[in-house]
Amino acid sequence: MNSTRRAPLLAPSFLAADLANLQAETERLATSAADWLHFDVMDGRFVPNISFGLPVLQAVARYAKQPIDVHLMIEEPQHYLSAFRDAGASIITVHYEACPHLHRVVQQIKQLGCRAGVALNPHTPVALLEDIAADLDLVLIMSVNPGFGGQTFIPNTLKKVAMVKELLLDAGSDALIEVDGGVNMTNAGPLVEAGADVLVAGNFVFSAPEGPVATLASLRDHLAGLEMDTPAGGRRQ
């Protein structure tokens, strides 16, 4: 396995932000340690919840200074890819479980000029990505069952991240590994040690008494000792 490690990116999740003040939330994150802004889209079908849609993304994008990382927890995502790109997405991730023609969907995302990601639910085996790994820009590992914020981190995620890292290395892929769900100060370091490149954090960031900017700065400082290379992406892209 490669001995070097890219500096982890931080992607606060808007699912946990103050939804009545998204402009203010976006603007105060502009100069924070956030590298990406994570935007969860839920349809009430693929997951048992409904969250944001295109008009909200368009509104956030007007004030965003970081790339917007759109996570589509929806069925038939192929019908909405261009609309989310036009609304402001820089990275678009779809679920393996929602795409019977996954390779085609990944190519559609790339043709739109976005980074293409594939997400795996906690029960989905890593090996199922073997035939698509070389085509991906991102693999998102769900460390909770998708659909709701504030859930408890699943410990097996650490093993799963290490397995994805090995699979990507074997495939010669430079895809980033993103982890979404229950990320906090306790598990962030072990996740990066296991191979994670992007950490999505929601409640931990936005519900902290000191506020999201200070919390992100603390998390960045906490991870600083693990950083060995240049950033994996974000504002320098």
User: What are the catalytic residues?
Assistant: 40, 180
- What is the Cα gyration radius of the chain? 16
Residue 211's region, left for phi above 0, alpha for psi from -120 to 50, else beta, is left
Distance between alpha carbon 25 and the CA centroid of its chain, in Å? Answer: 18
DSSP-derived 3-state class of residue 40: strand
The partner residues of 141 in beta bridges, in order of sequence, read 120, 179
SS3 13: strand
- The values of phi and psi at residue 216, to 5°, are -65, -40
User: What angle separates helix 212-223 from helix 22-29, to the nearest 10 degrees?
Assistant: 40
CA pair distance 14, 28, nearest whole angstrom: 13
Q: How far apart are CA 203 and CA 219, in angstroms?
A: 14
